[in-house]
Amino acid sequence: MRTQIITPQSQASNVWTLAAAIALTLLMSYSVKGQDKVDSLLSRITAYDPDFPERKRFNVGAMATYSNLTPPPAIVGEMTYGFSRKFSAGILAGTTGTQILTGVKLNTVLFRNNSFSLMNRIVILYYPGRRGQFLFDTSYANIMPWMLSMATLDATYLSKNGTRWLLGVGVLETHCVEGMKDFFFGSSEERFLVPFEFFHTVQTSVSIPVSKRWLIGPDIIFIMQKGSLIRQGEFRVFPIHPFARVVYKL
């Protein structure tokens, strides 16, 4: 039978080894709990965000509005894919009541701290134009194809009940497709005619969860130049664009 001799040095070594093992275990446990909290928060944010689906998941939805200036329907469908929790991209298609539109959108989270986020949204729309009547609009119109681009910087806050509040500013431009071609590829005289119209925007929205998958709420975009709302009828866009938005998370 072997006899194990425990010296003060070996005993101290065992104590330090045990202490190190306990410290490492506690550190790993704290790290896992901290990561779980982060993952839980991010999952909660994406669960209630109409613009950011979960990674490799889709959001589908629609935006609708009503105006006595254009006949119904004025509705745009959207589908968004989540590439990550900080980037998503989607497609848009619909009608303004007087024209068809198609487009793409890109959403990027620039900063996130708990329930507060700062994000960038880019929307590019193409309007193919129109000649004659369109759907319920029986008037004859000849509209050349044109495009709209908008980039925004938005601050969002997610409340405890899952409601997302958004307030932001942005830049919007519209241009005629033929005018843009002349500007870049036309004669020297045509290149002096700038086809772009620039505006700045203020937008706000509220997204309210009505279930684990359905989100609804209003979106409003104000179109301005030099700090004031643009005048009705002077441009391709209206001064105020109110929408009712509904999103379903697949």
> Tens of pLDDT along 43-77?
666 678 999 999 999 999 999 988 777 777 789 99
Q: Tell me, what's the pLDDT at 141? A: 83
Residue 42: band (very low, low, confident or very high) from pLDDT cuts 50, 70, 90: low
Give the count of alpha carbons within 13 A of 135, CB side only: 13
Mean pLDDT of the residues in the chain: 83
Instruction: Please name which of 183, 122, 119 lies closest in space to residue 148, comparing C-alpha atoms.
Output: 122
Q: Tell me, what's the pLDDT at 149? A: 95
Q: Tell me, what's the pLDDT at 2? A: 42
Average pLDDT over residues 82-95: 95
Yes or no: say if 174 and 134 are a contact pair by the CB < 8 Å rule: no
Sequence-distant (6+) residues with CB within 8 A of 161 are: 209
* CATH code of the region 48-249: 2.40.128
Q: Is the pLDDT of residue 130 over 80?
A: yes
How far is CA 77 from each of CA 36, 146, 209, rounded to the nearest angstrom? 35, 19, 19
**Largest Cα span, the chain:** 108
Yes or no: say if 172 and 185 are a contact pair by the CB < 8 Å rule: no
Q: Tell me, what's the pLDDT at 191? A: 59
CA–CA dist 205, 247 (Å, integer) = 13
pLDDT higher at 192 or 197: 197
Q: Is the pLDDT of residue 21 over 70?
A: no
**What percentage of the chain carries pLDDT values higher than 90?**
52
pLDDT higher at 65 or 91: 91
Residue 204: band (very low, low, confident or very high) from pLDDT cuts 50, 70, 90: very high
Question: What 3-state class would DSSP assign to 116?
Answer: strand
Q: Tell me, what's the pLDDT at 214? A: 95
Average pLDDT over residues 30-35: 42
Q: Tell me, what's the pLDDT at 24? A: 57
pLDDT higher at 34 or 118: 118
Yes or no: say if 237 and 221 are a contact pair by the CB < 8 Å rule: no
Sequence-distant (6+) residues with CB within 8 A of 182 are: 190, 191, 193, 195
Q: Is the pLDDT of residue 41 over 70?
A: no
Question: What 3-state class would DSSP assign to 7?
Answer: coil
Q: Tell me, what's the pLDDT at 184? A: 75
12-26, 112-126, 201-215: least confidently modelled range:
12-26
Q: Tell me, what's the pLDDT at 60? A: 97
Going by their DSSP bridges, the two strands 164-176 and 58-65 should be labelled as: unpaired
